[in-house]
Amino acid sequence: MRTSQPQTIYLSDYKVPAYLVDTVDLRFELFEDGARVHSTLELRRNPESDEVSAPLELDGDSLTLESVALDGAQLAAGDYEDRGDQLVVRSVPEQFTLTVVTWIEPQNNTRLEGLYKSSGMFCTQCEAEGFRCITFFPDRPDVMARFRTRSNGNDVERGELENGRHFVTWEDPFPKPCYLFALVAGDLVEKRDTFTTCSARDIDLRMYVEPRNAEKCDHAMDSLKRSMRWDEEVYGREYDLDIFMIVAVDDFNMGAMENKGLNIFNSSCVLASQETATDLAFQRIEAIVAHEYFHNWSGNRVTCRDWFQLSLKEGFTVFRDSQFSADMGSPTVKRIEDVTLLRTAQFAEDGGPMAHPVRPASYMEISNFYTLTIYEKGAEVVRMIHTLLGPDLFRKGSDLYFERHDGQAVTTDDFVKAMEDASGRDLRQFRLWYEQAGTPVLNVSDDYDADKGVYRLTIEQSIPDTPGQTNKKPQHIPFALGLLGQDGQPLPLKLGAGEADAPTERGLELTEATHSFEFHGIESRPVPSLLRHFSAPVRVRYAWSREQLLFLMSHDPDGFNRWDAGQRLAVDVIQSLVGAPDDAEIEPRLVEAYRKLISDTELDQALVAKMLQLPSEAYLAIHRARDAVLRHLAGALKAELIACYQRHQGGGPYEVTPEAIARRSLRNTALAWLLMIDDQEGRELAVSQLSAADNMTDRMGALRALVNSGFESDRQQALDEFYDRFKDDPQVVEQWFSVQAASDQAGQLPDIQRLLEHPAFDWKNPNKIRSVVGAFAGQNLAAFHNPDGSGYEFLADQVCRLDDSNPQIAARLVTPLTRWRKFAPSYSARMKSALERIRDKSGLSRDVYEVVHKSLAD
Ligand code: BES
Ligand code: ZN
């Protein structure tokens, strides 16, 4: 618990560690009422440190110190100081062995950092600063040591697999930072497979899960093998140990963790079966398994010098997993999904009080910096390097990076330098992407000179102010574009008058505040297709007419921009309806465009499914107008929706292929639209789909459609039957909670209160909290933003309640309130007062303190 005001940590204060650790020997004694940890460290002064007489300072958190010995001799009380968060030994030799014994209480650890218990199993989570909850240690990623771990205990003794009991000694030959340490002990079943590497080594692959989950491992195991192959083929990275293990645990703050050789997963991010997991979950599992596996190189073999460099591993690894997912399915669809997340959530973060650069300059609590900016914008920054260099030079750069820094703890700058050195490109200005926060805005204007046949584009860039940063410099922005002729054909882009064989797409580079480009030989005014593939994480402003957007929607050869044109058109139509009377006309051309799409059987159906998804409420922050457009579309297109539904029904046995996923997605979208207007035929389709479904995607699609409809008795019956059927499956119950909490029909505040009282709800389980409280505040915007402020007060109550037991989760839940300044005065005043109430809670955690104080700062 915090006793003094949290301190701010600055990147500019970085100093190399005063002591290095060569080896760590850990022995765990696990009991029902606690655990004893014997830690023996071989330490020496760091020759690179100028603090030649610094005392030894080890980090600790919530530890009971039992003894300290130096070179085998017990230290007396006066020889060391236990400050609670630090163990200080003033006088130590150049090189020495320190043995520390601590007592911890995993069974009472509700923060889920360090060693804790989840459904009777012991497990650890050490990133970012959880290792200090296990033993005193220099808990920073630039201290890399060789770890040897033994564990024994009464109930959980682990030996060679005998009746599910094991005894384990685990020696990791690769020096690693302590945040990658992991231990799991419990009554688990094992699933085995093997992978043969490119150099013909056989790797033992194992998954450990609770016995009831034994049949839900295949998808993750297959995903793992695909990831291992892909990293060899695309990055030349071979796995380095003889064994790779995955464990599933129910109580986990994050999605998954890349501990060396022993990845630990939130059950919801790894377990799947046809009956219990949706297509979305299947895809997410594949991506997360890949992500954690890819960290073995981008994160573990080459790690971060300090936590300001977090995006070095996370941004790069998200880029790698998104390339992988693109290769496994449809690149366009994957790009649309990534950009949707970036534009709805990361742009909001970048424009709010928690805005920070991809490489932050300061933080109070590092757990608060596992953000969309570090992850998603960080991945976009790496993607831009890939775009600027091209795939071959990028690969040369990543090879150089891995080779040059193998076994080291490095910075984002080292990454960029490797890319520069391998490619010969100058990325000095590009580095501003790591230093400047805020989403750049590109104002694009054009003019066409019919006499000369010249089309000129002018692009002005500006970067908004963010907390602590003003007057930003122009950044280096890759800007891909094409031009379409009146017949819809792509035009050659001649930058010089005489240029022959010009390409129809170009990757321009913006480096100045204003740039103009002239395209020659253009016979009539073209329609510009700007920022293709979303070549940079920026906002593009251009005065598109609805006519131009409709044109791009059906002609742009870039699938991403086709989708984007549809989104812009929908946004424009929805926004023009804000405050309009209920019977205001809704753009008939939008209806016709959607009619064409629904009936289009030629276009990639996965793209059609995406194009039919209206921009989210979170993106628009407009509920009523969006709703009106949706209902209008559903009413006008009813016949087409039913035809589309029927066209995509059946289709043979269940498969998880891109085609089958697209079919289910389209069918369920059609169903959702029909139930938006309480259509009777839709209702019958939903009820029969629910009873006939042989997979969770269809079952959940029908349930969600009914829950969001006005058919109250069907809704309740469907929810009850669903629960009854799946009540023993925590991952399905989580989906059942969130479908209600996110629904403006079934998720009004009294409903949410009831869900919190439900026997399956558990305040100790982060997934349950996210699926009720998180889904309500993050997705059920109509109910959360109830004008009476009750949604805000509710959230404040839950944050205060969680702050004591799990501060990481509490701090994340605050996010929707941090946007208070963006709302109309009557709302923002109530959001602000909810934040103030959290601020005034006594003993506030550092996690919540930082978010709340930054949100309220002027
Ligand atoms: N290293 C993180 C997990 C982590 C984050 C642990 C913060 C402790 C604190 C892991 O590699 C990760 O990024 N996981 C993501 C999923 C991934 C697919 C982006 C997660 O857990 O959400
Ligand atoms: Zn990661």
Tell me the CA–centroid distance for residue 418 and ligand 1, in Å. Answer: 25
Pick the residue whose CA is nearest to atom 3 on ligand 1.
Answer: 257
Pick the residue whose CA is nearest to atom 9 on ligand 1.
Answer: 127
Pick the residue whose CA is nearest to atom 2 on ligand 1.
Answer: 257
Tell me the CA–centroid distance for residue 255 and ligand 1, in Å. Answer: 6
pLDDT digits (tens, 9 = 90+) for 380-401: 999 999 999 999 999 999 999 9
pLDDT digits (tens, 9 = 90+) for 132-143: 999 999 999 999
Partnered with residue 31 across adjacent β-strands are 34
DSSP labels, 125-139: E-TTTTGGGTS-B--
Is residue 292 flagged as an active site residue? yes
pLDDT digits (tens, 9 = 90+) for 658-679: 999 999 999 999 999 999 999 9
Answer for the pair 268, 734: CB distance below 8 angstroms, yes or no. Answer: yes
Answer for the pair 627, 588: CB distance below 8 angstroms, yes or no. Answer: no
Q: Which residues contact 102 (CB under 8 A, 6 or more apart)?
A: 36, 37, 39, 60, 63, 64, 65, 66, 134, 135, 136
Alpha-carbon span 659 to 436, nearest angstrom: 41
DSSP annotation of 476 reads -
Answer for the pair 250, 267: CB distance below 8 angstroms, yes or no. Answer: yes
> What are the tokens at 854?
């930054």
- Give the number of other CB atoms < 10 A from CB of residue 94: 9
**CB-hemisphere CA count at 13 Å for 277?**
25
Q: Which carries the bigger pLDDT value, residue 159 or residue 812?
A: 812
Pick the residue whose CA is nearest to atom 6 on ligand 1.
Answer: 127
Establish whether residue 255 lines the binding site of ligand 1, counting it when its CB lies within 6 angstroms of any ligand atom: yes
Establish whether residue 258 lines the binding site of ligand 1, counting it when its CB lies within 6 angstroms of any ligand atom: yes
> Which ligand 1 atom minimizes the distance to the CA of 295?
11
Angle 241-163-223 (CA atoms, 0-180°, nearest 5)?
40
> What are the tokens at 43?
């330490």
Establish whether residue 182 lines the binding site of ligand 1, counting it when its CB lies within 6 angstroms of any ligand atom: no
Establish whether residue 284 lines the binding site of ligand 1, counting it when its CB lies within 6 angstroms of any ligand atom: no
> What are the tokens at 150?
């033994």
Tell me what the mean pLDDT of segment 613-621 comes to.
Answer: 79
Alpha-carbon span 812 to 367, nearest angstrom: 9
Give the sign of the dihedral formed by CA 419, CA 423, CA 429, CA 433.
Answer: negative
pLDDT digits (tens, 9 = 90+) for 729-773: 999 999 999 999 999 999 999 999 999 999 999 999 999 999 999
Cis preceding linkage at 128, omega within 30: yes
pLDDT digits (tens, 9 = 90+) for 772-810: 999 999 999 999 999 999 999 999 999 999 999 999 999
> What are the tokens at 517?
């480009």
The structure's pTM equals 0.98
Angle 418-420-422 (CA atoms, 0-180°, nearest 5)?
65
Compute φ and ψ for 408, nearest 5 degrees. Answer: -115, 165
- Please give the pLDDT value at position 582: 83
Establish whether residue 370 lines the binding site of ligand 1, counting it when its CB lies within 6 angstroms of any ligand atom: yes
Q: Given ligand 1 and candidates 370, 770, 808, which is best to mutate, with the most ligand atoms within 8 Å of its CB?
A: 370
Establish whether residue 628 lines the binding site of ligand 1, counting it when its CB lies within 6 angstroms of any ligand atom: no
**In this prediction, what percent of the chain has a pLDDT beyond 90?**
93
Query: Which residue among the candidates 258, 292, 365, 587 is catalytic per the annotation?
Result: 292
- Please give the pLDDT value at position 441: 98
> What are the tokens at 196?
């043969």
